[in-house]
Every structure is written in structure tokens, then in C-alpha cells.
Amino acid sequence: MTGRRFLLAGAAGLFAGPAFAQGFTPAQRAEIIERLRRALRDDPSILREAVEAMQAAEERERTTSQREAIIANRAAIFEDPADASKGNPRGDVVMAEFFDLRCPYCRRLHSEMDAFLRRERNLRVVLKDIPILGPASMAASRALEASRRQGKYVEYYDSLMRVRGDLDAAALRTAADRVGLDWARLEQDIEDPAVRERIEANLRLARNLRIDGTPALVIGETLVPGAGDQPTLERMVAEQRQAQRRR
């Protein structure tokens, strides 16, 4: 390893921490430090390139880790019979959507997804509620989960996603009334420990997949963070359908 590659590797090693640095002998470490000092004075871009290389390596590691987690948790992601879904129940492509009811980007995706599903007739979207935005999100999530007992999960989900403003207690009830939920029964079901346990199971699954924000879409062996527009959704589904045909 010579020249610029040597310096980049050395700079990356310094940022990567002790575990990486142990791969060098004391003499090599001393040489790296001295050459870095001289090189950085002459060409500061070396440091930028080293940081970029480190970030690229971290992203590759994250992608690989997420892919392995998706494979290991495939049944929980796509095949849980208790999960609600939208679209075609027998669709040839299945996508899982992790969302927080109070997330503005999730609300934007909700609108895009509904429009997409009106055109894409062979897709099933599994709904995974992960309340990560505080106590108000957890309260909304528990109400949504409790609505499952009355067979109104998808209807209530749609109603809540269309709320303008925050999801306080009044908004939860108004949205429930709009879809014909029995509010008194819903309030009782919210207190069932099984409701909270199902939400916690979704949160554990999200942590296993290293999901740290909403919305997040999982399709095939790929996790896509952020709200997608219709062209992005179309591309994701087309690529997955093509991948399935190759198997």
C-alpha cells in the first residue's frame, strides 16, 4: 500500500478507532501519522476523502445488516396473519410500511400510496404501526390497535391519517366516530395488555431492522427510508416483481 491509498487507509484507520488501528505495527502507525501531517498540509482533501470512504463503508455495513435482518424476520414482516393490509390481499408483490400516525411524512406517503394503489392492482401493503414520536403517538397507536377488535383497523387508519393537526383525544374520537367505531368499547379495548404487547412487538421488529425513522418501506430484501412519491413506488414494485421472476 503506497502513496495516496496508504494515506487514505491511514486516515480512515484513525477515525475508525482502536480496533482498526491495531492492524498496524507501531512503526507503521508512526509512519502514517507523520505522512498524514505532511500530506494534510499540502492537500486537505485527503481528510475529506477519508471521511467519505468511512461513511460509504458504514452505509454498506448498514445495508448488509438490514438485508440479513429482513431475511431473518421475513415471516414477521410480511406474513403475520394478524396484520392489516391495503391493496390486493393476493398481490404478487408484498410491501411492509412502518409508520407513526403523527409523522407528517407518513401522512404524505399515505396520500401517495392510496393514489398508487388505485393504479397498481397487484400489490399488498402490510401496515406496521411504530409509535416513535412520544406519548401522543403511543396513545394514537393504542387506539388504532384497539380498533382491530371492531374490524375497523384500515378504516380508522385512513381516518387518522387524514386528520389536520395533532392527534389529541378529541381528534381520536372524531376520527373514530367518522368510521362508525363504538367509542366506549374502544376505550375499554385500549386498556387490554394485548394491545400494548402487539405495539411493542412492532417496535422490537423495527429495532431489529435498524429502522430509526418513519416512514420506512420494506420490499423484498430492501429497506427504503423516507416518504416515496409514485414514481419511486412504481420503480420499487417493478424491480421486486422482476427479481421474483428471476427466481
Distance CA 205, CA 222 (A): 15
3-state DSSP helix/strand/coil percent for the chain, to nearest 5?
A: 65, 10, 25
Contact 107, 158 (CB under 8 A): no
3-state class of 15 per DSSP? helix
Domain boundaries, the chain: 3-72, 75-246
Q: State the 10-residue block means of pLDDT for the chain, 247 residues long.
A: 53 51 73 76 68 61 80 96 96 97 96 96 98 97 98 98 94 98 98 97 96 95 89 95 91
Give the single-character DSSP code of 102. T
pLDDT at 237: 96
Distance CA 14, CA 22 (A): 10
Render the burial of 172-187: b for 16+ CB within 10 Å, e for the rest.
beebbeebebeeeebe
pLDDT at 52: 65
pLDDT at 89: 96
Contact 196, 142 (CB under 8 A): yes
pLDDT at 129: 98
Beta bridge partners of 98: 128, 216
pLDDT at 1: 47
CATH code of the domain occupying 75-246: 3.40.30.10
